[in-house]
Chains A and B, each alone.
Chain A
Amino acid sequence: MKRPNAPAKSGIVDRVRRFEIQGLGAVGRGRNVPYLLLGIALILFPVLDSDSSHVNVAADAGHWILLALGLNIVVGYAGLLDLGYAAFFAIGSYAFAIMASGQFNIHISFWILLPVSAFIAALFGVFLGAPTLRLRGDYLAIVTLGFGEIVPRVFRNATPITGGVNGIVGIDQPHLPSILGWSGKFGFNPVPWYYLILAVLVLSLFLINNLRNSRLGRAWMAIREDEVAAAATGINTVTTKLLAFALGASFSGFAGTYYASKLFLVVPESFSFQAVSVVVLVMVVLGGMGNIRGVIVGAILIYFIQTYLLIQLPNWISSATAALNIDFLTKLDIASYVQRSNYLIFGIILAGIMLLRPQGLIPSAQRKAELELGTSEEAVADLGSA
């Protein structure tokens, strides 16, 4: 990944060698030191920072990172544009909410439901993917968009099951045996939530990293770069894409369980295209499709912009204009414009990144080469006519 200037159209032997070099580099000693330090810093963070609101922000950012990592499998690795990722997030959240709340008086433990709702989300990934994954890339994007619109509407309308517009309130929380003077209850204390999402993230990173370098991961990337060629080398493209879809969905299932439990409630409005699908896509595209570090940075950056910058900036501007006391500036009311520029900022990031730096902030070497070389006649297998 440290070789951005890889020769264009290098021979297959060179490319394989590059793979090997990267692989060795990743396990080589010394390179892990910064990560080790980062890990220690992350573990100590709630202890060192006594302001629990900061810990809470970090805990909330965690589930966005998880979502971005999941979408990255679909978009970044397998090259399938999923515009309805919110649907799986919603399914995960509601699956947990229904089975762990007063809604039907079912109270299954959080720890059991965490994998269960991820599995349910993955199942819906297969359910949607199985008939549609043989479609061309852009058709698939629209199918997922349609699915992403259907799911929240179903949850909003199926009032007897999902509580309708009001959603489900009073969702159960995880319990642990009390240790070190901590009661084992999560509640509104952000610290245990922070450690929980940190643990889930570490586990996910371990999984994704191994997946990426596995036979399956290489098959994903082969499909992304040339589906016909991948099929010709014996990759079962439908199964491989389906696995990307299901695994990507399962991560949003994890995230959904965490989200529903932490927030205490689920409402259909929080799973709209604008609120989730696009936001997560922006995170992945901004950071660098196909690159784990890039995606994490992208997720944190977007989360920061959304929850801090866009909320604080108007205050700073209005206090600045008030301090300057220039009538003209006060009348312009720039602050209210900034506050409302969420859409615009996301749009500019999405379009701007694709136009100016399609590889994202932290590019994945392969993805970069692919995007820059780019072929006008991208081959897409049409199994329908095969």
Chain B
Amino acid sequence: MRYFVEQMTLGLTNGAIYALIALGYTMVYGIIELINFAHGDIFTVGGLIGLTAIGLLGLDHAPPALVIPGVILVFAVAMGLNGLVGVAIERVAYRPLRNAPRLAPLITAVGMSFVLEGIIFLLKGPNDISYPNLLPSGRLNLGLASIGISNILIVVIAVILMVALNQFIQRTRIGRAMRATAQDRDAARLMGININRTIAITFFIGSALAAAGGIINGFYLETIRFDQGFRAGLIAFTAAVFGGIGNVVGASIGGFVIGIIIALVTGYFQGGGQWSDVVVFSILILTLVFRPTGLLGMRVPEK
């Protein structure tokens, strides 16, 4: 039981990070039907912006009282800046191709992924960069097992962000514009919605959430690497597809489910760690083959 709880904690924690990335995939796909291949690397960039902010604020040596407001500031700065990175990429690489055949922006997206990886590689080199863990290190004893406070915090932060996002999409004017644009871009335009701005906002929010994921990932793993976004992005995309691409709640659930699956495969099978990615990508293929709409997805009408 203790072991099981440990594995589940691990899975939920990783799942929270995957879910935060998956939200960006699912939002962008929902609104412009593009698999934003660069999103995994936007996640890495977000983590690095956070790392830089931590360094500039000197948070890793700061007195404990200042850490909490400092971390909140780091999140705000990194999410904002990374959002702008996402908007810039959309402006440069995707908007000019909005009316091109579908494969064109997808190839550009692969290109942007490599551009981002290349820039990080040039600036930071090929090795792991250490990341300070600013989350509290204590453990909560539950009798059967003890759970790290940091794990709980990560899941709580992620869930707060997810709920906030869902409320934003369901309740606000911009959220309604996003849903309208996703449903029928031309009709939305006729209703006076600024399509370009709405899509830009979608990219901003997706990238901001990826930055949150990037910082949390840095705290949790205590390292960051130029190419971590490739694998993380692919897993998160699997989560988005599994949950039903285009569906925000689905992506959140998908992220947690995939995280748990990886943890259980790694934890319960001999040499399972080597096979966990194979299992995840098989889930991706099988989902797409047998239920392309995912767990919660609606049937997307072919346009």
A residues neighboring B (CB under 8 Å): 75, 79, 81, 83, 131-132, 135-139, 141-143, 145-147, 149-150, 153-154, 156-157, 273-274, 278, 281, 285, 337, 340-352, 354-355, 358, 370-371, 374-382, 384-385
Contacts and interface: CB of A to CB of B under 8 A. Distances in A.
A382 B106 CA distance: 20
B116 to A, nearest CB: 7
Contact of B115 (A75, A143, A153, A344): A344
A132 B285 contact: yes
17 contacts: A81-B107, A137-B103, A137-B106, A142-B35, A142-B288, A146-B234, A146-B284, A342-B118, A346-B118, A347-B116, A350-B107, A351-B112, A354-B108, A374-B104, A381-B302, A382-B302, A385-B302
A157 B106 contact: no
Nearest to B119: A344
B220 interface: no
Contacts of B114: 278, 343-344, 346-347, 350
Interface of B: 33-35, 92-93, 96-108, 110-119, 121-122, 125-126, 227, 230, 234, 237-238, 241, 271, 274-275, 277-278, 281-282, 284-285, 288-289, 292, 299, 302-303
The list of the 7 closest CB pairs from A to B, nearest first, reads A344-B118, A347-B114, A350-B111, A351-B111, A347-B115, A343-B118, A146-B281
A375 B101 contact: yes
Contact of A156 (B116, B274, B289): B274
A379 B118 CA distance: 35
A143 B97 contact: no
B278 A157 contact: yes
Contacts of A278: 110, 114
B100, B117, B122 — most chain A CB neighbours (10 Å) = B100
Given A149-B281, A358-B100, 5 more contacts: A141-B35, A341-B118, A343-B115, A350-B114, A378-B101
Given A340-B121, A384-B292, A153 B278 contact: yes
A371 B96 CA distance: 13
A141, A380, A385 — most chain B CB neighbours (10 Å) = A141
Given A157-B278, A371-B101, A350 B110 contact: yes
Contacts of A371: 100-101, 104
Contacts of B277: 149-150, 153
Nearest to A79: B103
A135 B292 contact: yes
Given A132-B289, A377-B303, A138 B275 contact: no
Contact of B117 (A81, A132, A343): A343
A193 to B, nearest CB: 31
A347 B118 contact: yes
Contacts of A380: 102, 302
A149 B234 contact: yes
Nearest to B277: A153
Contacts of A142: 35, 237, 241, 284, 288
A358 B119 contact: no
A326 B100 CA distance: 48
B288 A355 contact: no
B106 A355 contact: no
Given A149-B277, A273-B230, A285 B118 contact: no
B301 to A, nearest CB: 9
Contacts of A342: 118
Given A340-B122, A343-B121, A374 B107 contact: no
Contact of A354 (B33, B111, B281): B111
B107 A157 contact: no
A364 B237 CA distance: 33
B292 A139 contact: yes
Contact of B107 (A156, A273, A348, A354): A354
Given A138-B35, A142-B237, A273-B230, A355 B97 contact: yes
Nearest to B299: A385
B93, B107, B121 — most chain A CB neighbours (10 Å) = B107
Contacts of B275: 153, 157
Contacts of A143: 284-285, 288-289
A250 B105 CA distance: 28
Nearest to B110: A350
Contacts of B102: 137-138, 378, 380
Contact of A138 (B33, B234, B303): B33
B103, B238, B299 — most chain A CB neighbours (10 Å) = B103
Nearest to A135: B288
Nearest to B35: A138
A140 to B, nearest CB: 9
Nearest to A149: B281
Contacts of B121: 340, 343-344
A208 B92 CA distance: 36
A321 to B, nearest CB: 18
Nearest to A376: B99
A137 to B, nearest CB: 5
B110 to A, nearest CB: 6
